[in-house]
Amino acid sequence: MFETNEMFSLKGRTAIITGGLTGLGLAITRCMVGAGAKAVVLSREQPEKAAKILEEFEGNAVFYQFNVTDTDKTQQLVDQIIAEQGPVTILVNNAGNHCKKTIEDMTVEDYEKVLDVHLVGAFALTKALVPHMKEQKKGSILFQASMTSYIGQPQVAGYATAKAGYLGLVHVLAAECGPEGVRVNAIAPGWIETPMFHQATDNDPPRLQKILGRIPMKKVGDPMDIGMAAVFLSSDAARYINGVCLPVDGGALIGF
């Protein structure tokens, strides 16, 4: 008998998740562990704080302190993780930073810092893992894209450049890695109920109404919606999905 549930299971798999201690990253960690995976969480956070956050996973999530912009150390870290945690079949590039400034106020250094985290850091980690995944003939690589991959939003030039850049990177990597059984996709979250969202909208009712007016479902998403999308794209249920960016936005991209 065909067991559908098994197709969505990540039991026995190991997932590296960057920025997996907070916000959408923590939701992804929760969903990955909930689906049976072991989570390897990378963050710049202090180990003591990380240990406290990861207590809920009862040993199914481990922490490595790492700054993704330290690209000269990325391969060494990946080799260490594989040696200590076993084969890795899932990578979620979720680490990010933000710089909200107009083009006049943003410096070249500001711009470069955003790209270093989102694009260069994610590329280095992906590059370090691809040969390992190809050798296994199995792997799922995800990039956390954004609505700004598609739409114009003021004051986020670096962020929008990086998120749009993910689309090109996903397409190239999907074409290169697909023949070896490694799938590469992205998720584009819409407006999600996070502390950052509340900070931007709680004292700005017109902005909130404008956002909700664009979403056909008339509500913002939950962080777990992003986590569940990550699980799906990493599972065998998505075994023929390669090179796509999945909007998880309640229909905002097509909203009127």
Domain boundary assignment for the chain: 4-193+223-248
Report the pLDDT value the prediction gives residue 139, as an integer from 0 to 100: 98
* Angstrom distance (rounded) from CA 13 to CA 88: 7
Model confidence over 14-37: pLDDT tens digits? Answer: 999 999 999 999 999 999 999 999
pTM > 0.85: yes
Which positions are annotated as active-site residues? 159
Model confidence over 238-248: pLDDT tens digits? Answer: 999 999 999 99
CATH superfamily of 4-193+223-248: NAD(P)-binding Rossmann-like Domain (3.40.50.720)
Residue whose C-alpha is closest to residue 159's, from 215, 115, 210, 102: 115
Mean pLDDT of 207-229: 94
pLDDT band at 84 (very low <50, low <70, confident <90, very high): very high
- Residue 67: is it exposed, middle or buried by C-beta count within 10 angstroms (0-12/13-18/19+)? middle
Per the listing, tokens 């114009």 go with: 152
Is residue 136 left, alpha or beta, with left meaning phi > 0 and alpha meaning psi from -120 to 50?
A: alpha
Average pLDDT of the chain, as a whole number: 94
Report the pLDDT value the prediction gives residue 2, as an integer from 0 to 100: 54
* Angstrom distance (rounded) from CA 9 to CA 177: 23
Report the pLDDT value the prediction gives residue 118, as an integer from 0 to 100: 94
Q: Which of 23-37, 202-216, 220-234 has the lowest mean pLDDT?
A: 202-216
- Residue 224: is it exposed, middle or buried by C-beta count within 10 angstroms (0-12/13-18/19+)? middle
**Angle CA 122–254–178, to nearest 5:** 40
